[in-house]
C-alpha cells in the first residue's frame, strides 16, 4: 500500500497539551504516474518495431553460357525499362517499338502490368498453379537508381507476376528511348 502509518502520538513529550497535529492521509494518487508510464511504454513499443529492415528474395538464373536462350511467346512478354529521373518505359512483345512512358505510381505501372496480365490470360489462360503466364523483362539504364529496381521488383510481388528477369539493356532500346519511343532502324 502507498500509505504510511502516521502515528498520532508524535511529539507528545515536549509540548504537553500543545497543538494537536492534524492527521493527514499520506496516500498519494498514483493514477497520473500510471498514465505517464503507459504512455512511455506505448511510445517505446511503437518506435522500436517500426525501424526494421526487411529482406526481399532475389533469384537469378545460373551462369550457363552454352544453354540456349529460352524461347518465349512474344505475346506473353512485357518489357520494362527504368530510365533516369524516375521515368519508366514499357513496351509489349520482343520488337523494340512503341515505347511508352509511365511512372511508378499504382495508377501507372501497376495498371500496365495488370492490363497485360488480363490480355495474356484471355489468350493463354493461367498456368497450372493459377498464376499469370506474363513474362516481364526488366532492364535498367545506367542512369536509373537502386530505388527504381526495388520498386519494380516490389511491383512484381504486388501483381503476383511470377516470371520476371533482369536483363541487360539492348542498344536499340537506348536508341528508341532517345527518340521518344521508336527506334529509327528497327529490325
Partner 1 sequence: MPKFKVKRSSTWVDMTAMCDVSFLLLSFFILTAKFKPTEVVPIKSPTSRASEEVKEDMVTFTVDADGKTYMSIGKPERKVQILEKFFSLNKDKYPGIPITDQTKKLFTKLEIFGTPVNQLPSVVTKSSTDLIELQRSGELKGIPTDSTDNQLGDWIMAIRYVYAEQENNDQPPIAIKGDQETNIKGVKRVIEILKEKDVNKYKLITTLEGKVD
- Part of the chain binding partner 1 (CB under 8 A), chosen from 12-20, 85-93, 118-126, 144-152: 144-152
Among 1, 19, 24, 67, binds partner 1 (CB under 8 A): 1
CA distances from 60 to 71, 81, 163, 165 (A): 18, 18, 11, 8
Length of the chain in residues, anyone?
187
140 near partner 1, judged by CB under 8 A: yes
31 near partner 1, judged by CB under 8 A: yes
Q: Do 4 and 29 touch, CB atoms closer than 8 A? A: no
24 near partner 1, judged by CB under 8 A: no
Helical (H) or strand (E) element with 90: strand 88-92
33 near partner 1, judged by CB under 8 A: yes
User: Min. distance of Cβ 138 from partner 1 in angstroms?
Assistant: 11
29 near partner 1, judged by CB under 8 A: yes
Q: What are phi and psi of 63, to 5 degrees?
A: -70, 115
Q: Do 104 and 144 touch, CB atoms closer than 8 A? A: no
Which x/- pattern, by CB under 8 A, does the window 41-60 give for partner 1? x--xx--x-xxxxxxxxxxx
Helix (H, G, I), strand (E, B) or coil at 40: helix
Residue 27 sits at the vertex; the CA angle it makes with 21 and 31, to the nearest 5 degrees, is: 150
Residue with smaller CB distance to partner 1, 7 or 59: 59
User: Min. distance of Cβ 66 from partner 1 in angstroms?
Assistant: 15
User: Which residues neighbour 96 within 8 Å (Cβ) at sequence distance 6 or greater?
Assistant: 170, 172, 173, 176, 183, 186
Which x/- pattern, by CB under 8 A, does the window 148-187 give for partner 1? xxxx-xx--xx-------x---------------------
Binding site for partner 1 (CB under 8 A): 1-2, 27, 29-31, 33-34, 37-38, 40-41, 44-45, 48, 50-63, 82, 140-151, 153-154, 157-158, 166
Amino acid at each position: 500500500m502507498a500509505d504510511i502509518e502516521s502515528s498520532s502520538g508524535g511529539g507528545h513529550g515536549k509540548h504537553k497539551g500543545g497543538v494537536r497535529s492534524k492527521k493527514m492521509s499520506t496516500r498519494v494518487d498514483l493514477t497520473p504516474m500510471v498514465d505517464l508510464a503507459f504512455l512511455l511504454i506505448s511510445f517505446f513499443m511503437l518506435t522500436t518495431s517500426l525501424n526494421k529492415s526487411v529482406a526481399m528474395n532475389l533469384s537469378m538464373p545460373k551462369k550457363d553460357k552454352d544453354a540456349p536462350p529460352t524461347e518465349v511467346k512474344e505475346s506473353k512478354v512485357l518489357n520494362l525499362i527504368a530510365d533516369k529521373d524516375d521515368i519508366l518505359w514499357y513496351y509489349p512483345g520482343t520488337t523494340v517499338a512503341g515505347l511508352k512512358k509511365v511512372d511508378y505510381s499504382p495508377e501507372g505501372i501497376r495498371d500496365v502490368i495488370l492490363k497485360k496480365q488480363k490480355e495474356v490470360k484471355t489468350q493463354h489462360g493461367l498456368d497450372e498453379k493459377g498464376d499469370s503466364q506474363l513474362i516481364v523483362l526488366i532492364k535498367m539504364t545506367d542512369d536509373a537508381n537502386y530505388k527504381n529496381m526495388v520498386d519494380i521488383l516490389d511491383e512484381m510481388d504486388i501483381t503476383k507476376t511470377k516470371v520476371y528477369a533482369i536483363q541487360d539493356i539492348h542498344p536499340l532500346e537506348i536508341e528508341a528511348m532517345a527518340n521518344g519511343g521508336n527506334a529509327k532502324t528497327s529490325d
